[in-house]
């Protein structure tokens, strides 16, 4: 495992573990996954040197936090535990109460990173950061983070908190490279962190899905990337990943992750549906892409033009009806 070169109380692994999948019905992994596999994934992740675990109060309505907390047991000295508050009515007393509730579910006295899940369009960050500051003051929260924030809003949150907002958790993968414009350069130059979610584009970049065999669950049924036409359009990008993967005796998923974490200020938090995937994802931390490989992947990524937005809506409806 490799770790971020940034000053934090605990080391942050370049590959973390995303746990939206734990206990949430929309991924459709079932009760056995939540009761057994999820625990095994967490235990193996700790063994392999993962320190960054990402969850949220809304994942499975608290179930993900509980599963992570139980699976970690007492083994948490080096663990950098990150959770998120969904900012409904984010007034200070509400934020404080919800932070305590998350810590209780996780079984910790201190949250290493407490993130605002997404910007509240109607309430400014001054309000939520009042609660965050109070939680930091009493020692329940170490670092504060945000998620799905623009650079302007990240900086505004930081001004409101009066100290660093360590991280911004955003979608970053070979299909969606928007963070390269502002967020990554800012993080690199200011000692901040971009936490890349959906680094495998929810599994698309593994190359295991085909036009006639898209993944079957609610999350991906609602994601236009998994429209049969888009899976087909992704063929060129998957082929580029395969070519680089062959040169490293690796898989397309591992190369997709190695690409995401290449920058010094970015970490990735892939989810995993089994222990084998977790092990494979951890191994991606040791893959170093050559410049020409990196550029070939950038080029293939730029050529990929999925159907999105309004054009995707009737197709999504048709695909859902056809399932
Ligand atoms: N802040 C936010 O708004 C936000 C939004 C989304 C996600 N997140 C966080 O980011 C985490 C990861 O994002 P995500 O789950 O959306 O997408 P992801 O990590 O890109 O995709 C995860 C899925 O990819 C497949 N996969 C994982 N490793 C693989 C491997 N080695 N080989 C082949 N397939 C593999 C698995 O699905 P199958 O085996 O079923 O194909 C797995 O469930 C979440 O768990 C959550 O913690 C945050």
> 218 C-alpha vs ligand 1 centroid, how far in Å?
14
**Atom 47 of ligand 1, residue of closest alpha carbon:** 18
Average pLDDT rounded to a whole number, residues 146-152: 98
Per-residue b or e along 73-88, where b marks 16 or more CB atoms closer than 10 Å to that residue's CB:
eeebeebbbbbbbebe
Tell me what the mean pLDDT of segment 38-48 comes to.
Answer: 97
CA–CA separation, 60 and 24 (whole Å): 4
Q: Is the pLDDT of residue 322 over 80?
A: no
Mean pLDDT of 4-30: 94
Looking at every residue in the chain, the average pLDDT score rounds to: 95
Judge whether 52 and 16 are in contact, CB under 8 Å: yes
- Report, as residue numbers or ranges, the catalytic residues: 59
CB neighbour burial string for 214-242, b if at least 16 within 10 angstroms, e if fewer: bbebebbbebbbbbbebbebbeebbebbe
Atom 13, ligand 1: residue with shortest CA distance: 198
Pick the atom of ligand 1 nearest to 115's CA.
1
In this prediction, residue 318 has a pLDDT band, given cuts at 50, 70 and 90, of confident
Pocket test for ligand 1, best of 220, 272, 278 (most atoms within 8 A of CB): 272
pLDDT band for position 319 (50/70/90)? confident
- Which residues lie with the beta carbon below 6 Å from any ligand 1 atom? 18-21, 54, 117, 147-148, 169, 197-203, 206, 208, 215, 253, 269-273, 277, 280-281
- The model's pLDDT over 237-252, given as tens digits with 9 standing for 90+, comes to 999 999 999 999 999 9
- Whether 323 shows a pLDDT value over 70: the answer reads no
Give me the pLDDT at residue 73, please: 86
Note the pLDDT tens digit of each residue in 99-148: 999 999 999 999 999 999 999 999 999 999 999 999 999 999 999 999 99
Distance 130 CA to ligand 1 centre (A): 32
pLDDT of residue 312: 86
Q: How far is the CA of 8 from the centre of ligand 1 (A)?
A: 25
Residues 194/168, Cβ–Cβ less than 8 Å: yes
């Amino acid at each position: 495992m490799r770790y971020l070169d940034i000053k934090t109380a605990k080391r942050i692994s370049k590959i973390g573990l995303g746990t939206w999948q734990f206990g949430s019905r929309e991924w459709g992994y079932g009760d056995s996954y939540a009761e057994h596999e999820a625990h095994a994934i967490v235990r193996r992740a700790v063994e392999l040197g993962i320190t960054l675990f990402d969850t949220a109060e809304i994942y499975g309505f608290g179930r993900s936090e509980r599963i992570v907390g139980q699976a970690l047991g007492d083994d948490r000295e080096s663990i950098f535990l990150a959770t998120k508050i969904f900012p409904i009515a984010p007034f200070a007393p509400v934020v404080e109460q919800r932070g305590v509730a998350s810590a209780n579910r996780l079984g910790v006295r201190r949250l290493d990173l407490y993130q605002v899940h997404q910007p509240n369009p109607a309430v400014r960050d001054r309000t939520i950061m009042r609660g965050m500051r109070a939680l930091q003051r009493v020692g329940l929260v170490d670092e504060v983070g945000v998620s799905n924030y623009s650079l302007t809003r990240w900086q505004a949150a930081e001004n409101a908190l009066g100290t660093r907002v360590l991280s911004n958790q955003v979608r970053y993968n070979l299909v969606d490279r928007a963070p390269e414009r502002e967020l990554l350069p800012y993080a690199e130059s200011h000692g901040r962190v971009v936490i890349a979610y959906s680094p495998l584009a929810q599994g698309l970049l593994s190359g295991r899905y085909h036009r006639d065999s898209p993944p079957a669950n609610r999350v991906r049924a609602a994601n236009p990337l998994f429209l049969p036409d888009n899976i087909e359009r992704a063929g060129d990008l998957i082929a580029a990943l395969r070519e680089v993967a062959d040169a490293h005796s690796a898989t397309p998923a591992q190369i997709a992750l190695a690409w995401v974490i290449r920058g010094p200020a970015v970490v990735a938090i892939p989810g995993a549906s089994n222990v084998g995937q977790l092990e494979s994802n951890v191994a991606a931390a040791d893959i170093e892409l050559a410049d020409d490989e990196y550029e070939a992947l950038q080029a293939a990524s730029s050529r990929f033009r999925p159907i999105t937005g309004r054009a995707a809506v009737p197709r999504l409806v048709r695909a859902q009806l056809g399932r």
